[in-house]
Structure 1
């Protein structure tokens, strides 16, 4: 078994509605509570970061699966939506919806690519970490150019 560690340094100099920072090897940004939760909305926030982790993991996993299957694509883009429930002051991350748009070069790859679009979600490390806590839904759009 090989283990790898990722490291993050956080600094929060003030109280609830102040602004902090996070730094990793490749990410340096301000953080605060989003305006939807009565915060200042400066930089990013945990909700966006969870959505970003799930989205980047999914699209990279899908691209790797397409490559291993020798499926040529013209483009792969995606939008993702994170749905958070705020009820009586309790905040719950309910669902993530990924909407990948895959344009293939050949009609012959459509069947396999369609299966890989589904398989990438269950193969992604972040999706597996969220399983049982946050529902992940796919609304895929596949086409051939």
Structure 2
């Protein structure tokens, strides 16, 4: 299985601009640039997209792993905060904030499965150079 995304960049790094697209068309010429990445300018940036990919991958992995223990989540909400060190140009940390409603799950079981999902989802595996932390809360 292979998925494709593309980027086009024009100009120098600080005043240039780019666009990002995906083969599915979910992103079509989405703008990105220096100001969106290092300041509060409009558009997206690679770290935000990595965060979205990580949150989505983790949520699906958690749902799958809960299912293997006959637990079906009503809802999983995940936010991934990606920290970029602008001096080293290195992603240093990714923090997952997870809130889930899982009927029949106790907190110990949920924490065990959430930790396994954090370590086992494909995006976590590819991002293993960063410190990945997590706060997981089970809604009653």
**TM-score between the two structures when normalised by the length of structure 2:** 0.83
Instruction: Quickly say closer, same or farther: Cα 1:63–1:8, change in 2 above 3 A.
Output: same
Structure 2 residue ranges without an equivalent (≥5): none
Structure 1 residue ranges without an equivalent (≥5): none
Matching residue of 2:123: 126
Listed as ranges, the matches of 1:4-15 within 5 Å are: 4-15=1-12
Instruction: Quickly say closer, same or farther: Cα 1:34–1:51, change in 2 above 3 A.
Output: farther
Does the 8 Å CA contact 1:73/1:103 hold for their aligned counterparts? yes
Q: Provide the aligned length of Structure 1 versus Structure 2.
A: 135
Q: CA RMSD in A?
A: 2.0
Matching residue of 1:66: 66
Instruction: Quickly say closer, same or farther: Cα 1:86–1:21, change in 2 above 3 A.
Output: closer
Note the alpha carbon deviations across 1:84-129, whole angstroms, 9 max, x for none.
Answer: 2233xx32211011010012222xx214322111100111111111
CA distance in 2, matches of 1:92, 1:141: 29
Q: What is the CA-CA distance between 1:61 and the residue it aligns to?
A: 0.8
CA distance in 2, matches of 1:64, 1:48: 24
Matching residue of 1:30: 31
CA distance in 2, matches of 1:9, 1:104: 37
CA distance in 1, matches of 2:65, 2:4: 27
CA distance in 2, matches of 1:51, 1:73: 22
Flag as ranges the 4+ runs of structure 1 deviating above 6 A.
none
Q: What is the CA-CA distance between 1:58 and the residue it aligns to?
A: 0.8
